[in-house]
A and B are shown apart, each in its own frame.
Chain A
Amino acid sequence: MADWILGEFGTSSALLKAAEQLRREGHTRLDTYSPYPLDGSSEALGLPRSKIPLIGLAAGLSGATLGYVIQWLTNAVDWPLNVGGRPPHSAPTFIPITFESGVLLSALSIFFGLWLILRLPQPYHPVFDLEEFRTASSAGFWLSVESVQAAAEKEQLVRRLRSLGAVQVSIVPERR
């Protein structure tokens, strides 16, 4: 069965060093845990650039276009009424809604995009099985290696973590 190896470190810098080290040694399925974002954690884990900005941009542009087109279709094309002698297609007055709809769609897609990328909500996760791990969100700095199969590898990892300065190391099984 696959297990997760978790190690707690005293300081964020120790954590980051350890992660860096393990990655160099070829461990890919690493992750760090900290109560607040750590500068350099992304680099330590070697993560690619996030897609979220692209999502936001695309959604924003399409939202704005949609907003303008709706106004134009309804007020200038489908039923162009004589409203106070103003031209049916009065572009300047369409700007505010165009902008707002752009922002709205962009924000929504960033919000939901984030949860999709992070696969959240996910109230259960193997790491939560470890009682000590509760410190991770308030004070502790943890490092995890994902579902390790071979017993030998587990042994080796536990030792390696200790040697990298982990205060404590635990093994939690994956449940389905």
Chain B
Amino acid sequence: MKSPSDRVDEAGVDRAVEREFPMGAAETADGMDRRTFVQLLGTSLALSGLAGCPRAPPEKILPYTRQPPDLTPGNPLHYATAFATGAYATGVLATSWEGRPTKIEGNPLHPSSRGAAGLFEQASILQLYDPQRARLVKYKGVARAWKSFLAETRQRLDYLLEANRAAGLRFLLDPSGSPTVEDLRRRIAAAFPNARFHAYEALDRDNAYQGARLAFGRPLETLNEFENADVILSLDADFLQCVGPHLRHSRQFAARRAPGPAMNRLYAVESMLSVTGTMADHRLRLRSSEIQSFALELLSELVGKHRLGALAAIASALGQPLDAGPRAAWVRAVAADLARHPGRSSLVVGPRQPALVHAIGHAINSALGNFEQTVRFTRPVPLEAEAGSAALAALAAEIRDGRVDTLVITSRNPAYTAPANLEFPSLLSSIPNVIYHGWYEDETWARSAWTIPAAHPLETWSDARAHDGTISIAQPLIAPLFNGIPELELLASFVGEVDKNAYQILRESWQKKTPAADFEQRWERWLADGLVPGTAFSPERPSVRWDALNAAIRGAGKQDDAAPPGQRPLEVNFVGDYKVYDGRFANNAWLQELPDPITKLAWDNAALLSPATAQRLGLGQGEVVTLELRGRRVDAPVFMVPGHADDAVTLPLGYGRSGMEGVARGMGFNAYLLRHASAPWFDSGLTITSRGKHHPLAVTHDHWSMEGRPLALQSTLAEFQKNPGALDELRGPTETFHRPVDYDQAPHRWAMAIDLSRCTGCSACVVACQSENNIPVVGREQVRRSREMHWLRIDRYFSGPIEEPSVITQPVACVHCELAPCEYVCPVNATVHSDEGLNEMVYNRCVGTRYCSNNCPYKVRRFNYLHYTQDKPAPEKLMMNPDVTVRARGVMEKCTYCVQRIERVRIQSRIENRPIRDGELQTACQQACPAEAITFGSLHDQSSRVSRLHRDPRRYDLLHDLGTRPRTAYLVRIKNPNPELA
């Protein structure tokens, strides 16, 4: 038992501030350093004396002097707040132990979370405690007081006002829909009439808004309601992982994947294999530049054959007839399928595609009558609809002309993320007075005069809008750990509100908006719910401007070059990274160590291309090459990905950092160095030359094939209905010498079910597990040695032809076998079964023979080969979940079905003398999963969701023929292909 106060250790944080060392497990070089030697001494002591002897000096207990009213030491509290990546905010619930936030979960009430939480939301908790975050207000590298910043800035602004009414004042902000920021901007604009505001983020949505402008005459937000869509066509839109409110998308999409007549069908057209692509029933790999002509072909097909009245308007624009070939067949089938489902279909276009494709998408959706059904429109969430390289280029021009004197930057590290051709870093250096509000001492920090550490979302008050405009009030859970300054306070300082803190600023602006008498009660409710009801944008009902579209299409030439595959010039694609986004999460060890959902790469990015292309270029896995585009060069290792379009290379952005962040530095290569403002998403004419070197990539799962083993199963709706008994040999009782253990007397019979039809492989569960169970980060070197510690991993297999593979992902954690092979080989009873069928792992009894892991057919056990938790900097220790033991060196660990949650709920129910309700108990992975693919509960309760799924005809057991009787059941993934394409 640990008293709550143990961990309320005021000294802890200060200590962290004093001694900085890299977070996560450092690279472990072999050989004996000083620490090793000390350990050796310690070891020998342990050997001589009795280990764990309690004669240590007494522990201190530090109780509160005044205990906060609603706080019970030892019981966590949950607060609703919000976390924004880009312009969209996601509502989250943060768990707090005696004032220490330890975990982030989804907010069930929030429209874009629905209780799920994505990678970035969950992993942001680690960034809160990241000791490498910027800590001090600095001027030209010298630490200064916040007060003196205020004073000196004031002076300068007054001077600017006199000189030219502050014409040289510019703001470069992170795109956001925050109403309070909006207020402040209005007031700043009033105070400095000539000041200008710009917004920039590397992964902008300009194309989408311009597409809307082209189709409707004004920029609009496009909302997809996949629960109403029978047929979905994605044009380079990875809507299940990255684009827009992907948590909401995943849930809606998964809800329609249940086999049966209501099952939806997904077509995906894309260059790089994406998470959405793996879920597609049909996937067409095209180079990004070819997708526009695909859209045109589809359009002409719909116009020509299916005579959708509305589209006739632009018939004249479509010259080229559809030529023959497999692609043509594809287009025909898709067109037909779409035409069959008017009002029940949906065409989604990704932000990487040019405006015209978006416009065509709108045209088709409107022609199919999908508006108001599967597609809705609102005004844009961010204050600036244009926040991409175009916007930045405009600012760059001004800077070049020397028209900028003071530039205030709250945008995320533009010096790093700006397209290379703008030479933004040097431009920044040329500005007399740059004020940078940043998280880290990063590339931009190095080129700014005033540098101000930003407060983490969990450290400050703010507000933000969700994808549909719904407003959340984000509340802090802890005072800034590293003297971070809230954005609101920074902006407020420009209108002279230097003595107000973010809370007052926020509250006042809201009080102005809501003069109601019961503001106090409302405010409380908003905070409790995590959202302000009724603030969603009112729907817009735009209509397509056919003539404009007509002209645009006529203007657009045929994009594809006729050259046959193999001779075409290489196309380069820039994509946001699944793990580090645009680079803002590059210092997050959890995300760095998380295997990429598709490539299973950890800690590095690579130049991704298809095996065929690699073969053509004579490149091998991990070979280092020089990529050259428009005269700019960068070195990168190549990595083959089945299903990638030929003659194209995909470069994930966000790596190759040169800032002061110890975790991010030296990981991967910087693809921004090749990015050009005029072609930010894809470009042609890339040349590749091998460097003749090899880079050891940290891949956690490098074997593509399933070797014909029945592991992660998928089938088609038709096949499955034809022969439902096909799975019988993969489930049901197996022969055994032993009388089966009787679990009927036990109060529960815990079990899990994982529905592969729903699982997209997004990996949110992996991070949830890592956060819940204090799973250490081991570092790139250890991952290379395949010693990663994730209790829950997501296997990814390719099957079928290597060019057009079918991909399946399968989450695998301990399956809690009833006849567990790991248990009978443990010589010390360190892993045994509970009466409820849990496969228990007792860390403190483990001597570390690793026999259990050897004998585990699922290889889900993880061993602490080194003291991975030892080097944790003090602030990270505050983040540990006090309900879970922090494992030391030399012991085995594995998934426990979140037994700490089970026991908490059990104790509560036993105190209240009531049974545990179904759904009352969720494992961390289940809770995070946006697709609701994971279910946990007791098999005793016949009506529980898990027992229904265990009886499901799609249920099967992994490695069933070994007779291990796993408690985790899998449900076959069912696909719904179009018979016309079979």
Which A residues form the contact surface with B (CB < 8 A)? 81-87
CB-CB contacts below 8 Å: B766-782 with A: none
Q: What is the chain A residue whose CB lies nearest that of B855?
A: A84
Q: Are A84 and B739 in contact (CB under 8 A)?
A: no
Please, how many angstroms separate the alpha-carbon atoms of A83 and B741 in the complex? Answer: 10
Distance between A84 CB and nearest chain B CB, rounded to angstroms = 4
Of the listed residues A81, A83, A84, A85, the one surrounded by the most CB atoms of chain B closer than 10 A to its CB is A84
Please, how many angstroms separate the alpha-carbon atoms of A81 and B824 in the complex? Answer: 11
Q: Are A85 and B832 in contact (CB under 8 A)?
A: no
Interface string of B729-746 (1 = CB under 8 A from A): 000000010111100000
Task: Give the contact stretch, choosing among B16-24, B126-134, B815-823.
Answer: B815-823
Q: Are A83 and B832 in contact (CB under 8 A)?
A: yes
Distance between B852 CB and nearest chain A CB, rounded to angstroms = 10
Sample 7 A-B pairs with CB under 8 A, ordered by A number. Answer: A81-B832, A82-B833, A82-B835, A84-B822, A86-B823, A87-B738, A87-B739
Contacts of A86 in B (CB 8 A): 738, 819, 823-824
- Judge if B854 is at the interface, Cβ distance under 8 Å: no
Please, how many angstroms separate the alpha-carbon atoms of A157 and B819 in the complex? Answer: 80
- Judge if B870 is at the interface, Cβ distance under 8 Å: no
Please, how many angstroms separate the alpha-carbon atoms of A81 and B845 in the complex? Answer: 14
Q: Are A85 and B820 in contact (CB under 8 A)?
A: yes
Q: Which of A81, A83, A84, A85 interacts with B740 by CB under 8 Å?
A: A85
Q: Are B819 and A81 in contact (CB under 8 A)?
A: no
Distance between B918 CB and nearest chain A CB, rounded to angstroms = 25
Contacts of B834 in A (CB 8 A): 82
Q: Are B824 and A84 in contact (CB under 8 A)?
A: yes
Interface string of B378-408 (1 = CB under 8 A from A): 0000000000000000000000000000000
Q: What is the chain B residue whose CB lies nearest that of A81?
A: B832
Q: Are B829 and A85 in contact (CB under 8 A)?
A: no
Q: Are A82 and B824 in contact (CB under 8 A)?
A: no
Q: Are B820 and A84 in contact (CB under 8 A)?
A: yes
Please, how many angstroms separate the alpha-carbon atoms of A87 and B832 in the complex? Answer: 13
Distance between A121 CB and nearest chain B CB, rounded to angstroms = 33
Q: Are A84 and B821 in contact (CB under 8 A)?
A: yes
Distance between A90 CB and nearest chain B CB, rounded to angstroms = 8
Q: What is the chain A residue whose CB lies nearest that of B817?
A: A84
Please, how many angstroms separate the alpha-carbon atoms of A85 and B738 in the complex? Answer: 8
CB-CB contacts below 8 Å: B822-861 with A: 822-824, 826, 829, 832-835
Q: What is the chain B residue whose CB lies nearest that of A79?
A: B829
Q: What is the chain B residue whose CB lies nearest that of A75?
A: B829
Q: Which of B741, B826, B835 interacts with A85 by CB under 8 Å?
A: B741
Contacts of A82 in B (CB 8 A): 741, 832-835
Contacts of A84 in B (CB 8 A): 817, 819-824, 833
Given contacts A82-B741, A84-B819, A87-B738, 17 further A-B contacts (CB under 8 A): A81-B829, A82-B832, A83-B823, A83-B824, A83-B832, A84-B817, A84-B821, A84-B833, A85-B738, A85-B740, A85-B741, A85-B819, A85-B833, A86-B738, A86-B819, A86-B824, A87-B739
Interface string of B710-744 (1 = CB under 8 A from A): 00000000000000000000000000101111000
Please, how many angstroms separate the alpha-carbon atoms of A87 and B824 in the complex? Answer: 11
Q: Are A83 and B833 in contact (CB under 8 A)?
A: yes
Number of residues on chain B facing chain A (CB within 8 A): 20
Q: What is the chain A residue whose CB lies nearest that of B818?
A: A85
Distance between B49 CB and nearest chain A CB, rounded to angstroms = 26
Distance between A91 CB and nearest chain B CB, rounded to angstroms = 12
Please, how many angstroms separate the alpha-carbon atoms of A86 and B741 in the complex? Answer: 8
Contacts of B835 in A (CB 8 A): 82
Please, how many angstroms separate the alpha-carbon atoms of A85 and B833 in the complex? Answer: 8
Q: What 6 pairs across the A-B complex have the smallest Cβ distances? A: A84-B823, A82-B833, A84-B824, A85-B819, A84-B820, A81-B832
Distance between A113 CB and nearest chain B CB, rounded to angstroms = 33
Please, how many angstroms separate the alpha-carbon atoms of A83 and B829 in the complex? Answer: 8
Q: What is the chain A residue whose CB lies nearest that of B740?
A: A85
Distance between B737 CB and nearest chain A CB, rounded to angstroms = 9
Contacts of B965 in A (CB 8 A): 85
Of the listed residues B823, B834, B965, the one surrounded by the most CB atoms of chain A closer than 10 A to its CB is B823
Contacts of A83 in B (CB 8 A): 823-824, 826, 829, 832-833
Contacts of B821 in A (CB 8 A): 84
Please, how many angstroms separate the alpha-carbon atoms of A81 and B820 in the complex? Answer: 13
Of the listed residues A82, A85, A86, the one surrounded by the most CB atoms of chain B closer than 10 A to its CB is A85
Q: What is the chain A residue whose CB lies nearest that of B825?
A: A84
Distance between A89 CB and nearest chain B CB, rounded to angstroms = 11
Please, how many angstroms separate the alpha-carbon atoms of A81 and B823 in the complex? Answer: 11
Distance between A11 CB and nearest chain B CB, rounded to angstroms = 59
CB-CB contacts below 8 Å: B956-972 with A: 965
Please, how many angstroms separate the alpha-carbon atoms of A84 and B741 in the complex? Answer: 10
Please, how many angstroms separate the alpha-carbon atoms of A153 and B39 in the complex? Answer: 76
Please, how many angstroms separate the alpha-carbon atoms of A82 and B819 in the complex? Answer: 10
Distance between A79 CB and nearest chain B CB, rounded to angstroms = 8
Distance between B965 CB and nearest chain A CB, rounded to angstroms = 8
Contacts of B832 in A (CB 8 A): 81-83
Distance between A76 CB and nearest chain B CB, rounded to angstroms = 13
Contacts of B820 in A (CB 8 A): 84-85
Q: What is the chain B residue whose CB lies nearest that of A74?
A: B829
Distance between A73 CB and nearest chain B CB, rounded to angstroms = 15
Contacts of A87 in B (CB 8 A): 738-739
Distance between A28 CB and nearest chain B CB, rounded to angstroms = 57
Distance between A92 CB and nearest chain B CB, rounded to angstroms = 10
Interface string of B221-253 (1 = CB under 8 A from A): 000000000000000000000000000000000
Please, how many angstroms separate the alpha-carbon atoms of A81 and B741 in the complex? Answer: 11
Distance between B963 CB and nearest chain A CB, rounded to angstroms = 10
Distance between B849 CB and nearest chain A CB, rounded to angstroms = 15
Q: What is the chain B residue whose CB lies nearest that of A82?
A: B833
Distance between B760 CB and nearest chain A CB, rounded to angstroms = 34
Please, how many angstroms separate the alpha-carbon atoms of A86 and B739 in the complex? Answer: 8
Please, how many angstroms separate the alpha-carbon atoms of A145 and B820 in the complex? Answer: 71
Please, how many angstroms separate the alpha-carbon atoms of A109 and B783 in the complex? Answer: 53
Of the listed residues B738, B822, B834, the one surrounded by the most CB atoms of chain A closer than 10 A to its CB is B738
Q: What is the chain B residue whose CB lies nearest that of A93?
A: B824
Contacts of B740 in A (CB 8 A): 85
CB-CB contacts below 8 Å: B392-443 with A: none
Please, how many angstroms separate the alpha-carbon atoms of A83 and B845 in the complex? Answer: 15
Distance between B227 CB and nearest chain A CB, rounded to angstroms = 43
Please, how many angstroms separate the alpha-carbon atoms of A82 and B739 in the complex? Answer: 12
Distance between A14 CB and nearest chain B CB, rounded to angstroms = 61
Q: What is the chain B residue whose CB lies nearest that of A84?
A: B823
Please, how many angstroms separate the alpha-carbon atoms of A111 and B530 in the complex? Answer: 80
Interface string of B499-511 (1 = CB under 8 A from A): 0000000000000
Contacts of B833 in A (CB 8 A): 81-85
Contacts of A85 in B (CB 8 A): 736, 738, 740-741, 818-820, 833, 965
Please, how many angstroms separate the alpha-carbon atoms of A5 and B829 in the complex? Answer: 66
Please, how many angstroms separate the alpha-carbon atoms of A83 and B834 in the complex? Answer: 9
Contacts of B736 in A (CB 8 A): 85
Please, how many angstroms separate the alpha-carbon atoms of A102 and B275 in the complex? Answer: 62
Distance between A19 CB and nearest chain B CB, rounded to angstroms = 56
Distance between B913 CB and nearest chain A CB, rounded to angstroms = 27
Please, how many angstroms separate the alpha-carbon atoms of A119 and B833 in the complex? Answer: 54
Distance between A24 CB and nearest chain B CB, rounded to angstroms = 63
Distance between B592 CB and nearest chain A CB, rounded to angstroms = 37
Q: What is the chain A residue whose CB lies nearest that of B834?
A: A82
Contacts of B817 in A (CB 8 A): 84
CB-CB contacts below 8 Å: B37-95 with A: none
Please, how many angstroms separate the alpha-carbon atoms of A83 and B832 in the complex? Answer: 5
Distance between A148 CB and nearest chain B CB, rounded to angstroms = 58
Please, how many angstroms separate the alpha-carbon atoms of A88 and B824 in the complex? Answer: 11
Contacts of B824 in A (CB 8 A): 83-84, 86
Distance between B956 CB and nearest chain A CB, rounded to angstroms = 20
Contacts of B738 in A (CB 8 A): 85-87
Q: What is the chain A residue whose CB lies nearest that of B833?
A: A82
Q: What is the chain A residue whose CB lies nearest that of B837?
A: A82
Contacts of B823 in A (CB 8 A): 83-84, 86
Please, how many angstroms separate the alpha-carbon atoms of A81 and B819 in the complex? Answer: 13
Distance between A82 CB and nearest chain B CB, rounded to angstroms = 4
